[in-house]
Structure 1
């Protein structure tokens, strides 16, 4: 069965997903639809940029598609769910990328439908996202694979239980910000040692990119890769010791847990 994909929302994350789908050529541009709540100029820009089908009526979005990606902010999602309930048919699969809104909350506002929570992160904009896929019990294996395939078009996607989604937010959803801070700090240290600002960012960002690729592609434990760099009485072990004295790993662990706890609190607040 050929799916027709709808996007409720046309922001940065929606456009990253759309770009991945268009580039993959798996779905025809006529099979991808987008509706943007309130901001018609953005909708027109997306239609022109990607050549997909823009619709100005939210009801039409659901009439034309069977997989609908809800790409709006959490507060907006809670506002629109009761309204779109009237448009939902048995064949519709809802995919929410809103942080802090549980499958149960979505179901309470829309009724018992096929629902998936997907948590991509911002590197989707450069086709390097990491996305968690958490389905409810009525989503079929084939439908899960369809959604995994969609999110694989701009990075990697992995099916996990919704029970661990708070941890996913801490280790993946919010993590790019931690890495940006780390890159900035690396560069600041290099500038303090005389390197130009532009060169410092280039060296720092490439070092982080290369190190991440080593973990992803070698299959080696990060500690093993770290040991490969730390020579006896060398520069790297001196730096590692300095980081440990500053509670580097404990600080990062606390950051992950802080993000996870905040996501958990958001789920309880709404």
Structure 2
């Protein structure tokens, strides 16, 4: 983390994900005075100013003294945000969490190849995110380490070997929290149908999800083995698993993630074509 503590970091866009990263970085020891946020919304700037970071609505001024510039804007405003900065970022590390924005698109708009593309997920808001990263060979080992350290402030960071794998990361972890929330919804509803009140069904479901995740993270066994360990022959868990299997739940989950990956590819293509 020490390498990041010596850097000035600018966020272009101060939304929820940027705020999560800022909070994580400050908690890890980065001085708020080393952080600048540029956002056009006055309420966002006021909220961030309470963290003692520098705020502005001038993107060019915001990047002037930055070592790292992280773009956290909506895809639909990408062109109007990036084009005025063309040629001004050649000596800086650029990071992007803009959904669907490929490195080639960002590089062309900014005039630099020193770009790291990131697919984060919303648990970063509670410092338990899972971030997939990709960069071309234009980004050296030192800058890759810096990018990893910035994101490690809010969770797990993993590099992928090809940019196309970012679409798989989107399907697995980017959209992934919603899948687990969907499962939680279903379990809470089932608990109520079985006679529990909503508060009890919710508490049991959420704690079970937390416990299962913690077991999977800390155990030497795979999730498949952990599942087998709690599935006694002819027991209650087996009865439930058999219903899942008859409903082809595993196959449906795999098909759902494949659909998410395809949609990620389509959105990236749409964004690229809209800029041309």
State the TM bucket, normalised to the shorter chain.
over 0.9
- Which structure 2 residues correspond to residues 216-231 of structure 1 after superposition, within 5 A? 216-231=217-232
Q: Aligned partners of 2:169 and 2:55: how far apart in 1?
A: 32
Provide Cα deviations, 1:230-259, integer angstroms capped at 9, x if missing partner: 001100000000011111111111111111
Q: Hey, what does 2:154 align to over in structure 1?
A: 154
Offset at 1:86? 4.5
- Can you give the 5+ residue segments of structure 2 that lack an aligned partner in the other structure? 272-276
Q: Hey, what does 2:82 align to over in structure 1?
A: 81
- Pick the aligned partner of 1:29 from 21, 27, 32: 32
Q: Aligned partners of 2:264 and 2:73: how far apart in 1?
A: 16
Q: Aligned partners of 2:11 and 2:244: how far apart in 1?
A: 44
- Which structure 2 residues correspond to residues 243-262 of structure 1 after superposition, within 5 A? 243-262=244-263
Q: Aligned partners of 2:106 and 2:57: how far apart in 1?
A: 24
Offset at 1:222? 1.2
1:254 to 1:79, Cα distance in 2 relative to 1, 3 A: farther
SS at match of 2:196: coil
Offset at 1:112? 2.9
Q: Hey, what does 2:21 align to over in structure 1?
A: 17
Taking structure 2 as the reference length, what is the TM-score of the superposition? 0.93
Q: Is the 8 A contact 1:84 1:110 kept in 2?
A: yes
- Can you give the 5+ residue segments of structure 1 that lack an aligned partner in the other structure? none
Q: Aligned partners of 1:61 and 1:30: how far apart in 2?
A: 13
Q: Hey, what does 2:274 align to over in structure 1?
A: none
SS at match of 1:232: coil
Offset at 1:217? 1.4
Q: CA RMSD in A?
A: 1.2
Q: Hey, what does 2:213 align to over in structure 1?
A: 212
Offset at 1:163? 2.5
Q: Hey, what does 2:237 align to over in structure 1?
A: 236
Q: Aligned partners of 1:152 and 1:228: how far apart in 2?
A: 32
Residue 7 of structure 1 pairs with residue 11 of structure 2: yes
Q: Aligned partners of 2:230 and 2:125: how far apart in 1?
A: 31
SS at match of 2:64: helix
Provide Cα deviations, 1:123-161, integer angstroms capped at 9, x if missing partner: 011110000111122111111111101111111111112
Q: Is the 8 A contact 2:60 2:85 kept in 1?
A: yes
How many pairs does the alignment contain?
266
Q: Is the 8 A contact 2:133 2:166 kept in 1?
A: no
Q: Aligned partners of 2:56 and 2:112: how far apart in 1?
A: 26
Provide Cα deviations, 1:53-84, integer angstroms capped at 9, x if missing partner: 11231111110212011011111223312122
Q: Hey, what does 2:42 align to over in structure 1?
A: 40
Offset at 1:102? 0.5
Q: Aligned partners of 2:73 and 2:200: how far apart in 1?
A: 37
Offset at 1:46? 1.1
Q: Is the 8 A contact 1:92 1:113 kept in 2?
A: no
